[in-house]
Structure 1
Amino acid sequence: MKIRYLFFLMLFCYSCSKNEPRKPINPKPSTTLYKETIKEAISLNKIEDAKILQLIKNDSTKIYLQSSQGFWYTYINKIEENLPTPVNGNEVIFEYEIRNLNDSLIYSKENLGIKSYVIDKEDFISGLQKGIKLMKIGETITFVLPSYSAFGITGDGNKIGINQSIISTVTLTNIK
């Protein structure tokens, strides 16, 4: 019995001492790929911003404001009364349309219909999510959204392409 015990003890000790760590099958990805991707994104954003700034410069009839979230907007119908703006959890009802930077209609108000959206609780165009929080009932605002605040690198899978900036005119009709 002692011999068996001694045999298993020696087997156990020798088998543990010779384990070598396995080498990874796939080596770690190069950090240069990430750096290149970031440089490319920055370059694309600069090009988009230049196009948007040119559009704003050419539209001298309106005053555009830049938001801290990276989009521009101008009031078409501004309400001067001290009315509330939507906050987290409010349901808003609005109409909107989407145009490209050449001012060609992509989706009309009729195509999109009346939209109901719960602030910060539902998925929607990120720039418009933030922009609607600036609005009062009855106001109409035109938002100029760079692609990273609109549909991003995927587009909408239909009429809006990848990395496409958009113009959206929104009329807020109700806050619940």
Structure 2
Amino acid sequence: MRKIVVLLTLFVVAVACKSPEARRPISSKTGSFIDQSVIRNKKLYAKEKSHFEKLMKANPDVEYVTSQNGFWYYYNEKVGDTLTKPQFGDIVNFDYDVKTIDGLTIYSKSDTKTQTYIMDKQELFTGLREGLKLMKTGETVTFMFPSQKAFGYYGDNNRIGMNVPLICKVTLNSITTPKTIN
């Protein structure tokens, strides 16, 4: 009987010392949704870029600039290079309107009213936030934003639908650097 207890104890110890095995998932998912989304977004961007390029070719007397941030713009009114551009935390005052890629007004300047925005500390759609950083006081610039730089997949839940490229004419009225308290 003693042999059986010893053998049983050795068996239990041997089984108990086995390292735990990782459980495998019942089903595994691949990254196919993300891959399809990437393909869909690349096609959408190419289509919007093509449309903007047609607009630019139709206006050869306008000097368009390609932004490093993935949008295009041109100056309606440009001021000298001596003025500064807004920096993080600066308070900017500006007016703007929003149009479709076909030139239909979505929001007029009277709809959007004069805006006051603290650079990079408040909500503003990506393209406009990046566009303001390129401007100087007194300049008026027309920006052409692909939908990913505008309101993207969700739109603005009002007048701008999903995946709508936008054209915005922006006038930067003033830049105020806040005083720091020591």
Into which bin does the TM-score normalised by the smaller protein fall? 0.7 to 0.9
Unpaired runs of at least 5, structure 1: 1-6
How many Å apart are 1:64 and its aligned residue? Answer: 1.0
Q: Distance in 1 between matches of 2:169 and 2:73?
A: 9
What's the counterpart of residue 3 of structure 1?
A: none
Q: Which residue of 2 aligns with 1:4?
A: none
1:133-171 CA-to-partner distances (Å, cap 9, x unmatched) read: 111111100000001111111111111111111000000
Letter in 2 for 1:158: N
Distance in 2 separating the partners of 1:99 and 1:156: 14
Change (3 A) 1:10 1:132: same
Residue 81 to residue 68, structure 1, CA distance change in 2 (3 Å): closer
Question: Could you tell me how far apart the structure 1 residues matched to 2:59 and 2:33 are?
Answer: 39
3-state SS, counterpart of residue 85 of structure 1: coil
In structure 2, the residue matched to 1:54 is: 54
Please tell me the residue identity of whatever aligns with 1:40: R
The 5 A counterparts of 1:17-56 are 17=18, 21-27=22-28, 29-56=29-56
Paired amino acid for 1:174: S
The DSSP-based 3-state class of the residue aligned with 1:80 is: coil
Cα distance change on mapping 1:69 and 1:81 into 2, 3 Å? closer
2:128, 2:113 → 1: CA distance?
A: 16
Return the letter of the residue paired with 2:23: R
- Tell me what 1:148 maps to: 148
Amino acid at match of 1:22: R
CA distance in structure 2 between the partners assigned to 1:57 and 1:69 by the alignment: 21
AA at the equivalent of 2:25:
P
TM-score by length of 2: 0.83
Q: Which residue of 2 aligns with 1:159?
A: 159
Change (3 A) 1:58 1:21: same
The 2-side partners of 1:61 and 1:106 are apart by 26
Distance change >3 Å, CA 124–CA 8, structure 1 → 2: farther
- Please name the residue that 1:114 is paired with: 114
- Look up the match of 1:70: 70
- Structure 2: runs of 5 or more not aligned: 1-7, 177-182
Closer, same or farther in 2 for the Cα pair 1:135/1:18, shift >3 Å? closer
Corresponding residue for 2:4?
Answer: none
Aligned Cα root-mean-square deviation (Å): 2.6
Question: Is it true that 1:137 corresponds to 2:137 in the alignment?
Answer: yes
